[in-house]
Amino acid sequence: MDSTDTILEYRFRMRPHQFEFGIEKEYAIFGEKDNKIGYLLVVESLLDILWNQLKEDTQELRIWNLMYENGWRIEPEYSHCLVEVVSPPFILDEWSKLTNGFFYIEKWLHDATKELSSMLKFKNVSCTSDYSVRTDLFFSSIGEHIIQFRDILLDSNDKNWLLGDIKTIPSCFKNAKTELLYAGFSSTHVTVHLPDNQLTNSKDINTELLAEYYWYLLRLARQVECEGCYTHAFLQNGENIIKPDITVSIRDALVYWGDPFSYQLLENVNQSLYWSSQELLEKFYEIFKQEPTALFKTNDFDAYTCRPKIIDEIMLFELRCFHSAINLSQLKYFVEDASQFVKGKVGR
């Protein structure tokens, strides 16, 4: 790992004239009780411990304060068992700064989890990104089974984004409490944007290029995701081991059921290789009912594919289709290839 000063020498900012990327990674908290493994609804306690531990270490607190100023965030995600870590935007030459940031934060999460474990009556307490969907069992801090979706969420009014038709439940979830699965669902997201000087054509945003880039990113992301090996089992009721289908991970099985449009889009995305520039733009419009311009509105789009969004009149693409366990070295290949499109080295 680089020296402490290396991570502190940049400043949080967007650089519209350069290719940039940022990574959001989600971690789930688990514990074991009575030989059953479940999600622990203790994220607030975990982060309270983390902040208190940092306050007791001047050097570590200095590191975090500078990271925070530069755009890093550690927050609860949408449920009481998930932690979200968000990086600021980086350029490719700053890859080591990104890995340093995750090194520190994962260390702090580990240390806080260790202290939290000593306060709870659970075995094998962990905070990890290894499992995108691990079980349908949720524990309160005192070991109660929590069975209502709204009681697991930070905001009880949030929508269940991965709830499909009961008639099409995958075999690995046949006897599971499927209405709870989204509450423990974790992913890795990568957001990228092209240099703005690549996007203009007679003073107008080049909508065809942005549409082409959208489909290019989806193909690339699906390729990287499928090259990973995510074969962890699903633990029905925290104990019954259900292995995934040999052709689909547990994460893919949940997306297949709860968001079939996204699953089919990703499975068939290579068809876009044979579309013309106009067809790529038309297919983009079919999904979002609008073209990729500076006026683009996200419109509450939460599918697990790619979400375009506008910040400071720059179109960013948030790839939401990665397993939470994907490692940073795999993501480095993704962002490098994503940047090569800018240089014109990689065609459709």
Where are the domains positioned within the chain?
14-149+174-341
H or E element in which residue 27 lies: strand 20-33
Q: What is the mean pLDDT of residues 198-225?
A: 83
Reported confidence tier of residue 12, pLDDT bands at 50, 70, 90? low
| pLDDT-wise least confident of 14-18, 46-50, 163-167, 332-336 | 14-18
d(CA 316, CA 310): 6
In the chain, the percentage of residues whose pLDDT exceeds 70 is 92
Between residues 11 and 348, which one has the greater pLDDT?
11
pLDDT of residue 52: 97
Contacts 24+ apart (CB under 8 A), 341-344: 341/194, 341/213, 341/216, 342/19, 342/194, 342/195, 342/198
The mean pLDDT value for 105-110 works out to 98
Q: What is the mean pLDDT of residues 237-264?
A: 89
More confident residue, 118 or 206: 118
Residues 6+ apart with CB under 8 A from 334: 190, 220, 221, 224, 319
- Whole-angstrom Cα distance, residue 187 to residue 204? 35
Residue 270: closest CA among 321, 320, 211, 218? 218
Q: What is the structure's pLDDT at 342?
A: 52
Is 95's pLDDT higher than 90? Answer: yes
In this model, does residue 13 exceed pLDDT 80? Answer: no
Would you tell me the crossing angle of helices 260-267 and 207-227 to the nearest 10 degrees? 90
The whole-number pLDDT of residue 3 equals 44
Give Cα separations from 100 to 4, 12, 234, 239, 330 (angstroms): 8, 15, 32, 36, 16
Per-residue confidence (pLDDT) for residue 8, from 0 to 100: 46
Measure the N-to-C terminal CA separation of the chain; round to a whole number of Å: 36
Question: Which of the four pLDDT bands, split at 50, 70 and 90, describes residue 334?
Answer: very high
Confidence of residue 130 (pLDDT cuts 50, 70, 90): very high
This prediction has a pTM of: 0.92
Which pLDDT value is given to residue 123?
Answer: 96
Architecture category of domain 14-149+174-341 in CATH:
2-Layer Sandwich (3.30)
pLDDT at 311 over 90: no
pLDDT tier, 137 (very low <50, low <70, confident <90, very high otherwise): very high
**Among 227, 348, 322, which Cα is nearest to 21's?**
322
* Nearest C-alpha neighbor of 102 from the set 24, 179, 166: 24
Residue range 223-228: mean pLDDT, rounded: 89
User: Tens digits of per-residue pLDDT, 156-196?
Assistant: 999 899 999 999 999 899 899 999 999 999 999 999 999 87
Residue 1: pLDDT over 50: no
| Residue 199: band (very low, low, confident or very high) from pLDDT cuts 50, 70, 90 | low
- Judge whether 224 and 330 are in contact, CB under 8 Å: yes
* pLDDT (0 to 100) of residue 200: 59
State the pLDDT at residue 201.
Answer: 52
DSSP state of 317: E
**Contact indicator for 205, 293 with CB cutoff of 8 Å:** yes
Query: How high is the pLDDT of residue 300?
Result: 73
